[in-house]
Copies of this chain bind each other. A is one copy, B any other.
Amino acid sequence: MSLQDTSQHSNCTAMSDVLNRIGDKWSVMVVGMLGRQGTLRFNELKRLINGVSQRMLTLTLRNLERDGLVTRTIYPEVPPRVEYALTELGKTLQQPISALWDWSSENHGSIMDARAIYDARSAAVAEDAPRKVAYVGSEGRLAGARSI
């Protein structure tokens, strides 16, 4: 709503909106899996995607279905069978997702390295920090300013 006109690029809203839906890891995983494997049942997806809870998988699939990225086909059998697959729109999303996926596996190492360096430096700085609060007394400015 208040996200209008971020610079001249009016499609920032679109980007935000899309990112809010497909920007979480479960959605990316599901699209990736369905893109590679084709059609999958609920529990197949659950097994393939490590760590996802039933609840989150259901929610993710519902959102993807709602956004027209995934089809949900129910076979009225016993036991029930439900199959998921990408729509045409969902298939087009595969390319940008694969690009991001490739970038990730390619650069994950660099990121980990950068983090290690950054954290090492932060730790070093933190060790010097206490010096600047060595002594707090004798400043008369507290005299009348005791406002609790």
Contacts and interface: CB of A to CB of B under 8 A. Distances in A.
A88 B18 contact: no
A47 to B, nearest CB: 9
Interface string A2-42: 11111101011011111111011100110011001000000
A138 interface: no
Give chain A's interface residue range (CB within 8 Å of chain B).
35 or more
A96 B95 CA distance: 9
B20 A23 contact: no
Contacts of A113: 68
A141 to B, nearest CB: 10
A24 B96 CA distance: 16
A100 interface: yes
Contacts of A118: 65-66, 68
A96 B88 contact: no
A53 interface: no
Interface string A110-148: 110111011100000000000000000000001111100
Interface of A: 1-7, 9, 11-12, 14-21, 23-25, 28-29, 32-33, 36, 48-51, 65-69, 71, 87-89, 92-93, 95-108, 110-111, 113-115, 117-119, 142-146
